[in-house]
Structure 1
């Protein structure tokens, strides 16, 4: 059995920090249609939604036609839609259920009670129980889990739980607080949760008992970074369940770090800042697209870090100069992705370290500086330094690198002395930074 699951679409809202036309074209209602398309293409048995499909009353009219049309298409494909109401859509979902002219939509747990439906797979195999509980009003301060007792569950039957809740919150929460341990004790192997918009990590869903936040399938603001999209639950003939995240979102929010002291790309003038930002964003975008191929718009918060002889205030002024004409954001295209830069950047700039001067001292810091200069080719490499590099190359080649060799492109499948030098230089630079920060008493010991 294949179940596509999601939560927190918030139809009626728009993705923030995007131009108005882009936000409209990539609104949650468009993601709903893509989820329906995906469910039909994958021939899933059901689509499950863990609350907040609609964002308050303002999403009712926008949601009505979209949801009704989507459910009709799912019905034609033999796919059932099962949902619970969250704190944002409790009243809207009641109205939608009364308005929808279809029997293929189940709103579980109305009135704050547990309710179960049985799903039979397309192949006629064993059925799966789906349990759900809906918000009876927009604020709930009590934990509904004690109402779900063991005698209500069918022994030996795979089961899925749908709940919109504030997992791990105290009793002062008004969004259905549930202690985390209640899910493992419930007897239900997999819980799909709504309310938190950031999706769970892949590691957290590997084995039962599992409970995870599905997250918003399309992120809505910079506080929701990382990949977004629905999840697929596969239930095998023996009841074994696997859960996989599907990063189908077309929008992503990320913080991009720009190192002003990156080897070979150190800033020497304030004007160099913009080129460094563009290169960092390009690298980030291409790395993200490799894992999220549907990405079209990347919203970036820029973080500028490192040591430089340039004055931090000058760099701040140079950054703000780009946005001086009341520009909310600037954008440029990286392959097929449009990247947007927010006007406010974070700066963590430290004074420049004169490694050449440090290398003139016979101290642990001085010895590290000498080694660094040899690794970067600024001084002739000693026999001792060369032996260290050879050892690094041998150990990585035999102990680590061989394990990932099959993942790499052909041109990257050798780990030579140049790569070993770069790796050693990065680590030595960090050591120099640490020793220098300790102060004279420590670093000259």
Structure 2
């Protein structure tokens, strides 16, 4: 007998995607159709149609505790439909929904929280009354947990010779306040895999590795590019298993590189961008089942001497009505990135002793991830965390400021400053990232 378990990462019910066009409903797509609530509804329908054994969630099911009134209705309807069709629902608590999920499980007993109170717990999943797998889970007892849950003693696994998986909501960063759990330590625990929530970039789960992030059902902003959707874990009678991600999200974000050479001298830049979107659609089509809209962030690439000429002509406001449809899927331009940094000869510029030379040497250290870059990243990270702790930002979702994120921010700012110093763009005319949504 082949059994299926449906896995999903951060759903964030109650939240809506950012940077959608203000007039998107005039093009036949309602913003409501692109929300995590729609993604959850699609997951429920798929689970019922496929008669899966169980649905397993890895936390942050609800966006914030103050969104739980809005989110509760969506969650309750979905869970009840699953249970009525013989599908059990299991979840760990994430940092966003500590109070909300506690309330949900009190009102909906069929919604099982695993590892409540910050204590590891084993549960056995069954299909048609036959046990198929064991899962080990840990839930947030409160929002901020600076200690790793891996410091606790793990309970002994059940006796059944079944596949064993862990579910957790964590961050693979040692100094995180969100239950840091280094993934190298997870590898040492004798489980068949770990399915993790928190980060919104899905890992490449498969035969090579079964430790990683599931990602959200719907990309919530343009940085969350690529395929999003639940994962199907298939288990046979012999305990052999496989996993694959499926496209159920109604919204997809993509970065669309466009060569400036193609745009130079063209009287209508929209034609070039429309053709680029058509090529993107053709490439993505196998992964676009159920997708209603694709948001594109245009990335200008190519010789730097052409960038300023093209960037001055490519006004985002002129592209607001560029919303072509391909196979009934709406495409729109979210913003423009002028990424001419790759064409700068950093090594040549770094040989000088002037300010551009000094900046180029720092950028080279960041690009090559040299030892000198660690101090730059550390200082920037400290300042960013200090600023983020200000009461002015208390209502916004907390940013983790990982080393990779800070490095990328420094690269973006540094290359822009270098172009200004070199006179490639006029000071104050900051057109490297432009968006109108």
Query: TM-score, normalized by length of structure 1?
Result: 0.70
1:43 aligns with 2:51: yes
- The yes-or-no answer on 1:84 pairing with 2:80 is no
Does the C-alpha gap of structure 1 residues 267 and 196 become closer, same or farther in structure 2, counting only changes over 3 Å?
closer
Question: 1:54, 1:267 → 2: CA distance?
Answer: 44
For 1:18-37, list aligned pairs within 5 A: 18-19=20-21, 21=25, 22-37=30-45
* Separation (CA, whole Å) in 2 of partners of 1:62 and 1:274: 40
Q: Which has the higher contact order (CA 8 A, sep 6+)?
A: 2
Aligned to 2:317: 323
Q: Distance in 1 between matches of 2:309 and 2:227?
A: 35
Whether contact under 8 Å (2:270, 2:322) holds in the other structure is no
Deviation of 1:347 after TM superposition, in Å, equals 4.4
Say whether the 8 Å CA contact 2:122–2:158 is kept in structure 1. Answer: no
Question: Displaced runs of 4+ in structure 1, greater than 4 A?
Answer: 327-330
Question: How many residues are paired up?
Answer: 335
Structure 2 counterpart SS, 1:53 = coil
1:246 — aligned with what? 246
Q: State how 1:261-272 maps to structure 2 within 5 Å.
A: 261=261, 266-267=262-263, 269-272=265-268
Q: Could you tell me which residue of structure 1 aligns to residue 228 of structure 2?
A: 228
Residue 314 of structure 2 aligns to a residue whose secondary structure is: helix
Q: Which deviations, in whole Å up to 9, do the C-alpha atoms of 1:166-219 show, x marking residues without a partner?
A: 12x11x210111121222222221211000111112xx42156x2121100111
- Conserved in 2, the CA contact under 8 Å of 1:149 and 1:186? no
State whether structure 2 residue 140 is matched by structure 1 residue 135: yes
TM-fit CA distance, 1:350: 10
For residue 166 of structure 1, give the secondary structure of its aligned residue in structure 2: coil
Match for 2:199 among 176, 186, 196?
Answer: 196
Question: Are 1:314 and 2:347 an aligned pair?
Answer: no
Which of 68, 73, 76 is the matching residue for 1:68?
A: 76
Structure 2 gap segments, 5+ residues each: 344-437
Tell me if the contact between 1:270 and 1:314 (Cα under 8 Å) persists in the aligned partners.
Answer: no
Q: In structure 2, which of residues 2, 8, 26 is the aligned counterpart of residue 6 of structure 1? A: 8
d(CA) in 2 for partners of 1:52, 1:83: 10
Work out the CA distance in 2 between the residues paired with 1:227 and 1:121: 29
- Deviation readout 1:214-255 (Å, 9 max, x if unpaired): 100111011111100000011111111211111211211111
Once the two structures are superposed, the pairs formed by residues 29-428 of structure 1 within 5 Å of their partners are: 29-100=37-108, 103-122=109-128, 124-149=129-154, 151-154=156-159, 156-167=161-172, 169-170=173-174, 172-201=175-204, 204-207=205-208, 210-261=210-261, 266-267=262-263, 269-307=265-303, 311-320=306-315, 322-323=316-317, 330-348=322-340
- Give the gaps of 5 or more residues in structure 1: 352-445
Q: Which residue of 1 aligns with 2:383?
A: none
Q: TM-score with structure 2 length normalisation?
A: 0.72
C-alpha distance in 1 between matches for 2:146 and 2:321: 41
Distance 2:12 2:258 in 1: 33
Greater C-alpha radius of gyration? 1
Cα shift at 1:342: 2.4
Deviations 1:105-142 (A, max 9, x none): 101111100122212222x4443212211001101111
Cα distance change of structure 1 residues 277 and 19 upon mapping to structure 2, 3 Å threshold: closer
Structure 1 stretch 61-70 or stretch 37-46: which is displaced more?
A: 61-70
* CA spacing shift, 1:7–1:343, aligned 2, 3 Å: closer
